[in-house]
Each structure stands twice: as C-alpha cells, then as structure tokens.
Amino acid sequence: MILNQLIKDFLDYLEIEKNRSPKTRENYARYLKRFVFWLENETNKSATSLDASYINNDNVRKYRLWLNRQKNSDDEILKRNTQAYHIIALRSFLKYLTRRDIKTLAAEKIELPKIPSRELDLISIEELNRLLSAPDTNTLPGKRDKAILETFFSTGLRVSELCKLNRDNINLKRGEFSVKGKGGKIRVVFLSERAKKSISTYLEKRLDIEEPLFVNISRSKKIKESLRLSPRSIERIVKKYALATGIMKKMVPHTLRHAFATDLLQNGADLRSVQIMLGHASITTTQVYTHLTDKELQQIHLTFHGKRLRK
C-alpha cells in the first residue's frame, strides 16, 4: 500500500479510534506531509510509488539532518521543539503501521531529540490583579469579559474548552462543573467566589435565551447572530486588556492557565492535584511549573543557610 494512503488511514485512526482533536489531526498531517515531500526528493520517486519500506534508519537519519537545516517563514532555523514534533508524528505513524503488521522501521529505533526547557509566559501577581480588574463592568461586554478572565484564572481551562461552555454546564451554586478536555477526557473544575460572582453578574444582564455561555455582543449591546465566541475572539479580548493595563509581555489565554497552575503550586498545592485540575495526561507535562516554585527555595537558602557562620 502506498505511503500516502497509509498516512490517510493513520489520520483517520487518530480521529476515530484515538479521539484526537481536529487540530491534532491537522498538525500530524502537516508533519507527515513534510516527510513524504522530503522522501520524494531524496529518492527521486513520486508519492504514488513510495511505500512503508522506504522508512528506514538511513532515510530517517538523513531526514533529521535535513530538518535541522530548514528555516521557518521568518528565515530562522526550525526550533528544536518543532523538529521534535515532526519526529513524534513519524514515530506515532510507525507504531500504527506495526499494529497493522506492515513491515517498516520499528518506532523504538528512532530517538527523540532533547528539547530545551519550555519558557512559560508568566505575569506577576500585580499584573494579574490589574488584568482581572480592567474590564468596565458597567457595560454588558465588560461584564462578559470580566467573567471570561475570572473563569480562566479560577479553572485553568484551555481556550477551546472555555469557548465550548454552555449556560447549563455551569453550576454556580456548587461552584464546579465538568469539562471535556483533550482526548475526550472529563475532569471537574472549580469556580472561585470571584468567578461565580462575575459569571452571575454577566448572566443577569443577558436578556437572550441562547445556549452558549460566552457570546458575541454587538456595538448596540445585542447578541450577534454568530453567537459563540471563537478562540481567536477570546485571544483578542485578553490582549486588549493586557495592553490597556500596560502589560507589555506576551499575553494569550494560555497565560492565565499558567497563572492558575503557578498560583496553586506557590500556595502549597501538590503536583498531582494540579495535574488533574489542568487535565494533563502525564505529570511530566505539569512538572514544567515546578521550577517556578523552586525560585522560592533561593530565598529560603539565603535566609537560613550558614547562619552560624555569620559574624
């Protein structure tokens, strides 16, 4: 079977059997398409004549070397983590082929590149306070935006998860609700008193009976026909208030997810609990936040170490 057909079957498998999101399918398709493009040029063969036997140690080694020399749209060498995503996609594809008993390179023979520690987009507690207080709550759009920001910080939701919320998802009395995250996994998230108040105040002024929780509001303060806010719209809302409050660093909805996690850890929450609340499949993903709380150890060391030697 030709390689392109096998890739299509693999992408269908990810979507249907593994319940991966459309975005994951799109990303894997792009990464594997790049590999096939390289393979065509390397072997001087058309895609219709390539099969899984062409994925061998020698070709993978050459492909990785080629990837390491590619540049992005800004004419910069591809970042290590971007290169790693290409290799992860290829390994996943090989594992799929093995399950189907298709002869090819074993996925285990491909080592993943070491990825530098991820830099997180963080804001200080002072910046966070300014951001959460920025919306004008005398207006309906301001009430909505205040509810969005407070919900982000209270729950650590991903922007896609927040966009999908409906009114009947939210139990303001209990202060908790279930959300379906990556891979279709359900988790419970919790609303702070501030978040509950903000959502309640916003909903009280909503005169429509539409289902989505966060909706488009026109300049005439009416609910627009294209009801549900999109991830892009929410991203613009967050950036708007960041600029308005003088926060010059990068501000996206995910920044508030980071703020949620670091706030919990710095106030004594254990890593496993934070993992569950964030909806991370692996605790290693959550561990990216631990170096932030470790910064406090420096002050502890400075305060208590070597006190008897100080004279």
Catalytic residues: 158, 182, 254, 257, 280, 289
Catalogue the long-range contacts made by 18-21 (C-beta closer than 8 Å, 24 or more residues apart): 18/183, 19/183, 19/184, 20/183, 21/160, 21/182
3 state SS of 216: strand
Q: What does the alpha-carbon distance between residue 162 and residue 164 come to, in Å, rounded to a whole number?
A: 5
Alpha-carbon distance of 20 to 25, in angstroms, equals 7
The helix (run of H) or strand (run of E) holding residue 180 is strand 176-180
Query: In which element (H, E) is residue 178 found?
Result: strand 176-180
CA distance to 35, 91, 240, per residue, from 55 (Å): 10, 11, 47
Burial 56-95 (b: 16+ CB within 10 A, else e): eeebbeebbeebeeeeeeeeeebeeeebbbbbbbbbbbbe
Structure tokens at 35: 């590999």
What pairs with residue 95 in β-bridges?
none
